[in-house]
Chains A and B, each alone.
Chain A
């Protein structure tokens, strides 16, 4: 399959590969898998607890080139966004940016799932009083 230039770029130079300690204050971890192919992806955010802004993001993906590119792109997009803004990132945004073909859509879904899971984990771990806001997503 021919990958788009952007996929190849992220695949060859993935941004923000790595991980944070799970219990560092402000860190939210999302670990998700794609049942279509059995690939797994871990995505983490580090949120400034005062401002609610995502200061850093990291990922580790054991999957196809599109999944690696999707998660790499996602971490780039996440940095500097507020938690609420981050919740609005859609897999279709990723598909458009990376020009993913239909058979690779589930790879971008994986990235969206990972973002959502990381945000949810961040909220349950670090937002005690904001339980109502967290459950509305």
Chain B
């Protein structure tokens, strides 16, 4: 059973999160151990399993970007992030740019950060954050709608575009994280990536 099926939903990306939350509470009550105290141990174990599955499914679906990530994995038939069959191609200019910023950052760290040095990091950081927002907007906007509207023959193309957007997001997020680390500003909860 995939996460969409847990909620009785079709494999579509546009989900009403208010409705999703309502269903989540409803199903949670249904699977709550308190209501199953009289049940046999096997049945209690099943209930526990169902409630764990429900929680995982809810976590994957409530956030529209996590939802896209999950859909991509699901469509590729793999459960984890490891072992992607087809690697998304990152735009080469993006890699080039990320590499250059990292190099500049490494140098700036060696020299110690004075006011000018900080300013030189803040500018690219802010620029990259705008791009990250754009990428997020693309994922939850046109790409989400594109998937839901796609005929079966078009799905691979939409999937590839989503993978590319997710990869771009990962590159941007990593560099933003590193810049924020260097600046001593961590924007808690903004970028979730942690490398080490």
A interface vs B, CB < 8 Å? 31-40, 42, 60, 62-65, 102-103, 105-106
Contact = CB atoms under 8 A, between A and B. Distances in A.
**Is chain B's binding surface mostly helix, strand, loop or mixed?**
helix
A106 B84 CA distance: 9
**Is chain A's binding surface mostly helix, strand, loop or mixed?**
mixed
Contact of A35 (B170, B178, B195, B196): B170
B82 A102 contact: yes
A40 B87 contact: no
Interface string B12-35: 000000000000000000000000
B127 interface: no
Interface of B: 81-84, 87-88, 90, 92, 95-96, 98-99, 102-103, 106, 163, 166-167, 170-175, 178, 193, 195-196
Given A36-B81, A40-B102, A42-B99, 16 more contacts: A34-B170, A35-B87, A35-B88, A36-B82, A36-B84, A37-B174, A39-B174, A39-B195, A40-B99, A60-B103, A62-B102, A62-B178, A65-B196, A102-B82, A105-B83, A106-B82
Given A35-B87, A35-B90, A40-B102, A64 B171 contact: no
Contacts of B195: 37, 39, 63-64
Instruction: State the 8 A-B residue pairs at the shortest beta-carbon distance, nearest first.
Output: A38-B174, A35-B167, A38-B170, A62-B102, A38-B171, A33-B95, A64-B195, A40-B99
B174 A35 contact: no
Contact of B96 (A31, A34, A38, A62): A31
Q: Which of A38, A40, A42, A62 has the most CB of B within 10 A?
A: A38
B82 A33 contact: no
Given A38-B175, A106-B82, A31 B196 contact: no
